[in-house]
Amino acid sequence: MVFFAGRSMTKPLIVVNFKTYASASGSSAEALAQAMEKHSDGPARMVAVVSAFDLQAVRAAAPTLEVWSQHLDPVGQGSFTGWLEPQTAIHRGAQGTIINHAEHKVEMNHVAELLAQLPEGFPTCGCAADLDEARNLAAMGPTFIAVEPPELIGGDTSVTTADPSIVSDTVAVVKATNPNVRVLCGAGVKSGEDVATAISLGAEGVLLASGVTKAADVAFVLADLVSKLH
């Protein structure tokens, strides 16, 4: 199975975490994914990170959009009630996953065991709250690391404005540990200016949620996010 077929590894990423917002769940998740899909051939690699409940429906509604799971567990098929088993998630349409988000923290051995279990080439994005966590994750070799200071998540101020050094410092730490890992930044990202600033600081994309999922005009916000990319 090839997970990167048709997916650019050079475009900056705009990764939208749907979380469990009403505006990004069920039929609303499908509509949001379709809005994102309109930009999937543009200057950014668009990724929707959806609830496991919505994986199959979102993939059907927006077949050319890249869709990730919000979490996976390092378990197999068997007696694992309530866990998110990777092979079933992949079967239902998951093309990647985030792990260790600030709202769903896990132990580092959880991340290591999951990475060892996933198929080769399956995109994984480990979320880090600080430099130490980014360094530890980078040593495991995920595809991406997203640095997100927890105090800025969901706020009105982007990390690129409030604490730009954590972005550039994370890039330096991650690349020194594992130069193959790509760095994203998140927390408070809402605009094309935020995306452009993230790129200028050395990140290769952004991870955001409420800036898109709670927007009054989703089409406008999505267009603005890619407006300064070439």
Q: Which residues are catalytic?
A: 101, 148
- How many CB atoms within 10 Å of residue 228? 15
Considering only CA atoms, which of 196, 182, 194 is closest in space to residue 229?
A: 196
Q: Yes or no: say if 169 and 150 are a contact pair by the CB < 8 Å rule.
A: no
Burial code (b: 16+ CB inside 10 Å, e: under 16) for 156-186 equals eebbbeebbebbebbbebbeebbeebbbbbb
Residue reference for tokens 């600080």:
130
CA angle 14, 162, 130 (to 5 degrees): 75
β-pairing verdict for 13-17 and 182-186: unpaired
222 half-sphere exposure, CB direction, 13 A CA radius: 23
CA angle 148, 87, 125 (to 5 degrees): 15
